[in-house]
Every structure is written in structure tokens, then in C-alpha cells.
Amino acid sequence: MFQTMQKNAAPHHIANPNAYAHIDAPATEAELLAQLQTASDNVLRLAGELHANANADADSLAEQHEIAQRLIGQLLAMPASQR
């Protein structure tokens, strides 16, 4: 499973925290899904780095996980009429 995570986790630039300041703002489903995909890619990449290197940034992983959780919550709370 870890090898699969490594292969799926292509290197991506982690945007600065300000890049996600708009997460709590209303967005379309497509925008939320795109943001979720980026956060998910970052979580997989960071988890791979953390597994391979004990000195990797666990705080970044936790931050990306939190972003993904908030995006999932927004998607689930979105009325069907906005999808």
C-alpha cells in the first residue's frame, strides 16, 4: 500500500496557508473538489515523506489533513441545488 501511495503522490508544491484562506467562503462543487484534490495529493505526498524520513514535517501533514477535512465537510453540507 505504501508503494501505491508513493506512486500516486507526485511532488506538488504546497501552497502557503494564505492560499487556503478562502476555504470557508462559498464555492462551487467543482472549486471545492479541485481544492480537495490538491489537499489530498499533498496529504499522500507528505505521508510518504514522513514514513520515509522521521524528520519530515508532520505539522504540514496535519495542516493538509485539516484542510481536506474542512473541504469534505463543505461538500457534504452543500445543498443538492448548488451541485
Task: Give the pTM.
Answer: 0.53
Q: How far apart are CA 39 and CA 20, in angstroms?
A: 10
Per-residue pLDDT of the chain (83 residues; tens, 9 = 90+): 444 444 444 444 445 545 555 555 667 889 999 999 999 999 988 888 887 887 677 888 889 899 999 999 999 998 876 65
Domain extent, residue 41, equals 28-83
Quote the pLDDT of residue 6: 45
Q: What is the pLDDT of residue 69?
A: 93
Query: How is 22-66 classified by DSSP, letter by letter?
Result: GGGS---HHHHHHHHHHHHHHHHHHHHHHHH-TTS-HHHHHHHHH
Q: State the angle between helix axes of 58-77 and 29-52 in degrees (0 to 180), rounded to the nearest 10.
A: 150
Q: Is residue 52 part of a domain?
A: yes
20, part of any domain:
no
Cα distance between residue 69 and residue 53, in whole Å:
25
In a domain, 61, yes or no: yes
How many structural domains are present in the chain?
Answer: 1
Give pLDDT, residue 70: 92
